[in-house]
Structure 1
């Protein structure tokens, strides 16, 4: 393993984060100049922007026939988004969960997770599978746009978002050229960063004797989730706690439908799915998505103790990956204990908490 491996990894992550930020800024201002409401921009451009690193890395990995890296990046990012990022954000401040997330977006996230798992069950994601997933993200985005345009109560959110991105300001002459240049620069940074990160990750995996799936689930997944981490923590600090949660759920949906959809479409071969991913990582991702419902529903907030629970699970998941990668005999027993005892027990506990919260809400005042 050479020092250049770490240079590629660090430089790739820096370029990905910078590219996503520049792309979102430019695209938001261009969309505003065409009269698109700021809330719609937030639901589409910004949601895609925070998933741009995952998109760039997974597409590049698929083009390089590194399917395990592409799959591991998405699964690992979705798990890290909920357990690591929401856990850390909830420790900063208890998070508010909107009713729309419970009724619509979280069920869509769970449904998308199950659909991807079903498509991958035969051991691969084909071009047809990618087309189905990408059609799903188009339908989801269209629904968000139509719903937000009909929502007259979103004016305050529009104003806050517009102030953050400077969309209230009168456009300067030739401003569209500047914003278009930002979009192009952001795309160049994303492509360059993804190339460096994929090359560094593959080199690291080979040098350490690890599979590309493990590297994708850990190093690459955490690295490409940095935009979500920064967005959610800053939203929590600013008091926009519902945005912090919505950002994560929206990003996970985009990862499953858009990132995997595009990666499967551009891949010259069917993306093969590791049996280990099907047996353990996919079920963990689905369990994490399902666990959001009772936690979010119990008072429509995520308390600090629930954030700590998320973090504990992420540490346990990472520990399993380390044990498995190093060939420790405890890995199988640890994984069986997590899937067979700890996760079901937690689901039952959270279901009881959610049931009590639902019962309290139905009690007469």
Structure 2
């Protein structure tokens, strides 16, 4: 039964992503909002819903290793495998705001996470915790990010986006909203089924909670980002693809961890410090790749994919 649920989850993810990209692209055109902004908000928060669901449920159940491991693992996967596979299929065009603001903001969010989880080094305590006050700080950072995105949307709304390609505007508001909500619901449900069934399978094989969070749960809950970004790239909506990846990474740290740590303070496994440093390095690499002709090329995408495979092998051996 658990394997059947896994297959159903994959099917919902793939079909939901297709509808979700079409609907959100239409909304972007109808609102006269650049696809990048939609990628950073509607698409990023929508595809981040499985991470939010899993992490908050894990926090309620007291499984901090799954909560933090899921977020760190998902962001690692986003910055390497999701960008890598998507760029390998179709080179990702990068908007200037993404290089100047969004990627640096994602880097800042990761640095903030490293700081708040370093209680033993900075405050000389016995344990490292992400506390409720840390969670409030994360949510304040998230509010700043939302303010930036809203202002960017307001400033660009009056600009014409008539040259946008492959956007079907014949359905109008009702059809676009219905397709977007339906696609999002399929993504969330599919992601939930994949995460729950894959976690059950992994625990049966004796994997630790930290490893499950960094691998099975992270991969499962990041499938919406992967499927959505690949779908967006194939539809030549690369602004949505990269905006989805970067926006989802910011959403994961600032909102999901913020809410989860307010629900229940989260003890930090020491092994996760290495993974945080790897995430910082990956963010810098993505920034450098994005600077080369404002495009993440195919060979750069393949390099990121190989990087993730090596990292995955290492953490499996480490555990």
TM above 0.5, one fold?
yes
Match of 2:230 in 1: 233
Change (3 A) 1:236 1:192: closer
For residues 207-222 of structure 1, what are the structure 2 equivalents within 5 Å?
207-222=204-219
Are 1:144 and 2:131 counterparts? no
Shift of 1:227: 1.6
Counterpart of 2:212 in 1: which secondary structure?
A: helix
Structure 1 distance, partners of 2:239, 2:204, is: 42
Give the RMSD, CA atoms, in angstroms.
3.4
**2:271 alignment partner, SS class:** helix
1:271 equivalent in structure 2 = 266
Tell me, yes or no, if structure 1 residue 303 matches structure 2 residue 308.
no
- 1: CA distance between counterparts of 2:153 and 2:76? 28
Change (3 A) 1:229 1:158: farther
Kept in 2: contact 1:20–1:53 (CA 8 A): no
Looking at structure 2, the residues matched to 186 and 94 of structure 1 have their Cα atoms a distance apart, in angstroms, of 25
Q: Could you say if the C-alpha distance between residues 145 and 248 of structure 1 is closer, same or farther in structure 2, counting changes exceeding 3 Å? A: same
Cα gap change, 1:8/1:65 in structure 2, threshold over 3 Å: closer, same or farther? farther
Contact kept, 8 Å, 2:17 with 2:227, in 1: the verdict is no
Which residue in the other structure is 1:155 paired with? 160
Unaligned runs of 5+ in 2: 120-127
The CA deviation string for residues 200-235 of structure 1, in whole angstroms up to 9 with x for no partner, is 455445432221111111111111111211222122
The match for 2:130 is: 125
Pair 1:75-2:67 in alignment: no
| Contact map agreement 2:92 2:297 (CA 8 A) in 1 | yes
- What's the CA shift for 1:43? 3.6
In 1: Cα distance, 2:277 partner to 2:136 partner: 23
> Which consecutive residues of structure 1, in runs of 5 or more, have no partner in the other structure?
326-365
- Determine the structure 1 residue equivalent to 2:46: 49
Q: Deviations for 1:305-325, whole angstroms, at most 9, x for unmatched residues?
A: 211211111111011122123
Could you say which structure has the larger radius of gyration?
1
The 2-side partners of 1:207 and 1:57 are apart by: 19
